[in-house]
Structure 1
Amino acid sequence: MKVTKSEFVISAVGPDQYPADALPEVALAGRSNVGKSSLINRMLARKNLARTSSTPGKTQQLNYYRANDAVYLVDFPGYGYAKVSKSQRAAFGEMIERYLLNREELKLVLLVVDLRHPPSKDDVSMYEWLQYYNRDVCVVATKADKIPRSRWPKHMKMVKETLGFKPHHSMVLFSSETGLGKDELWETIQSYTHGASETEEAVHGEDTGSSDGDQGQE
């Protein structure tokens, strides 16, 4: 898949700030420092469009990134960061829950986890919550480049067992550093944003392959 145009659009804290162009939206959820910003940069073929940081908890709004004027990637605040105050965590939770429950344009949630470790309690809670409310989910197991290829199956099994992964959901092995899983993830996204034939046309084509992997991690 080839992304020829990508841009940051807005940091939104409520429905009155969400884009009104009715394009399909794909949200990214995951714990702080799991690498969502680097994933977005790799998917959109941009080095620093989504700012990576060594400081967990930096993202505090819903950050909208538009690809080819066809689909939005919506980055959530990372969860599970202890230094964020209880009131701040509550505010984040309310903002995210309102979005997940009410946003008609939302077509898919990418639950981003670290392939190296079992999903956290917060990851499991998010996965169960999304199932309860019948939101479509794709689990993205990132940082695959950090462990030997021979151990990938073992770690994928660990992720699935910890989450209680359901076979009707999607799962993609990913690396922001090497681009592993980029094409597969775009294909998965397209399958859920099928209402937009524009999306298929806009991101269709051979990936020319950007060699500049993102060095930072969110």
Structure 2
Amino acid sequence: MPSLQQLKFFITVNHLVDLPQTVAEVAFAGRSNAGKSSAINTLAKHTRLAFTSKTPGRTQHINYFEITDGVHVVDLPGYGYAQVPNAVRKHWEGLLGEYLRSRDELKGLVVIMDSRHPLKDLDWQMLEWFAPTGKPIHILLTKSDKLTRQESAKQLSEVKKAVAEWPQISVQLFSSLKKTGVEEAEKRVLGWLYGEDDTDAVEEKANA
């Protein structure tokens, strides 16, 4: 099975017509200050693969990172940061919504939420955009190191209950600082991209 440590930058896209041809992809989405770029960097064991900034909202495009030929992790624009021009924010929302609803190659969505402040209005909007596709969603509750073990367990339980109406949603705790939940998250992403038993089939299609 390939590893997320193989991730390397592939392409940046600002319009749907420029999306590359791929075999399979998993997208990461989240509020601009939820730790999305840090989570991708942690999973890749690379400090600067996905751009992180003290100014949230800097990821304004769709960034593709390749694992193996035709198989990608996709970093979507952060959402929910108010201090960007209205036209830019509308462009992001249109790009995100259309991508999530129409991208056939998209196998699943990882939604990044700060474990201290999960399920904000825009998080619900993201889930409601994507859930009708029937594709799986995995919620990473990041920055879990900021909570006590009891608080983390409580947040995990409450989020699971809140999204229980959608059987395709799974939830876990994650910390880029403590490297908590890295193995579980990587297994989930690679399982969507390659499947437990069909890695060879995916690679054969990519090389066809």
The CA deviation at 1:167 is: 3.8
Matched positions, count: 200
Contact 1:144 1:152 in 2 (8 A): yes
For 1:57, the aligned partner's letter is G
Aligned to 2:206: none
Contact 1:127 1:163 in 2 (8 A): no
Tell me which moved more, 90-99 or 2-11: 2-11
Pair 6,136 (structure 1): closer, same or farther in 2 beyond 3 Å: same
Contact 1:119 1:163 in 2 (8 A): no
Tell me which moved more, 3-12 or 29-38: 3-12
Aligned to 1:130: 130
After superposition, where does 1:1-218 map in structure 2 within 5 Å? 2-20=3-21, 22-69=22-69, 71-163=71-163, 166-194=166-194, 197-198=199-200
Tell me which moved more, 51-60 or 7-16: 7-16
Sequence identity percentage: 36
Contact 2:101 2:129 in 1 (8 A): no
Give secondary structure in 2 for the equivalent of 1:132. Answer: helix
Contact 2:29 2:77 in 1 (8 A): yes
The CA deviation at 1:160 is: 3.2
Pair 86,108 (structure 1): closer, same or farther in 2 beyond 3 Å: same
Distance in 2 between residues matched to 1:13 and 1:44, nearest whole Å: 23
Stretches of structure 1 that go unaligned for 5 or more consecutive residues are 202-218
The CA deviation at 1:143 is: 0.7
The CA deviation at 1:164 is: 5.6
Q: How big is the alpha-carbon RMSD for the aligned residues of Structure 1 and Structure 2?
A: 2.3
The CA deviation at 1:68 is: 4.3
CA distances 1:177-209 after superposition (whole Å, capped 9, x unpaired): 1221111111111222235505999xxxxxxxx
Pair 31,4 (structure 1): closer, same or farther in 2 beyond 3 Å: closer
- The structure that is helix-richer by fraction is 2
Distance in 2 between residues matched to 1:89 and 1:36, nearest whole Å: 18
Tell me which moved more, 22-31 or 70-79: 70-79
Contact 2:142 2:176 in 1 (8 A): yes
Contact 1:6 1:65 in 2 (8 A): yes
The CA deviation at 1:85 is: 2.2
Q: Which has the higher contact order (CA 8 A, sep 6+)?
A: 1
Distance in 2 between residues matched to 1:64 and 1:127, nearest whole Å: 21
Pair 108,181 (structure 1): closer, same or farther in 2 beyond 3 Å: same
Aligned to 1:210: none
Give secondary structure in 2 for the equivalent of 1:10. Answer: strand
Pair 124,149 (structure 1): closer, same or farther in 2 beyond 3 Å: same
Pair 105,168 (structure 1): closer, same or farther in 2 beyond 3 Å: closer
Q: Give the 4+ runs in structure 1 shifted more than 6 A.
A: none
